[in-house]
Amino acid sequence: TTVVAKLVSKEWKGLSDKKRVVWDEKARLDKERYETEKATYTGPWKLPITIKNRNQKDPTAPMRPMSAFLSYSNSKRCGVR
């Protein structure tokens, strides 16, 4: 919910640089993973449009990397609820 997102966002803004480095490193590694998967991926990025699967992506396509904030918020979301 938006309340949880606001609490996590406030916590993220108050995070010290030393603690934020951990999340920045996770985001950097995830971005590297994405770039290598993207370079080796040969399939279509989007499936041909039919009535059943409008705007669907190929399920084997590489997932976009998470930012440091998203990684942090996913780890803290359960504790805030």
Q: How many CB atoms lie within 10 A of CB 72?
A: 23
Supply the pTM of this predicted model. 0.66
d(CA 77, CA 64): 20
pLDDT digits (tens, 9 = 90+) for 5-20: 888 899 899 999 999 9
Whether 80 and 4 have beta carbons less than 8 Å apart is answered as: yes
Query: Using 50, 70 and 90 to split pLDDT, how confident is the model at 38?
Result: confident
Q: How far is CA 37 from the centre of its chain?
A: 15
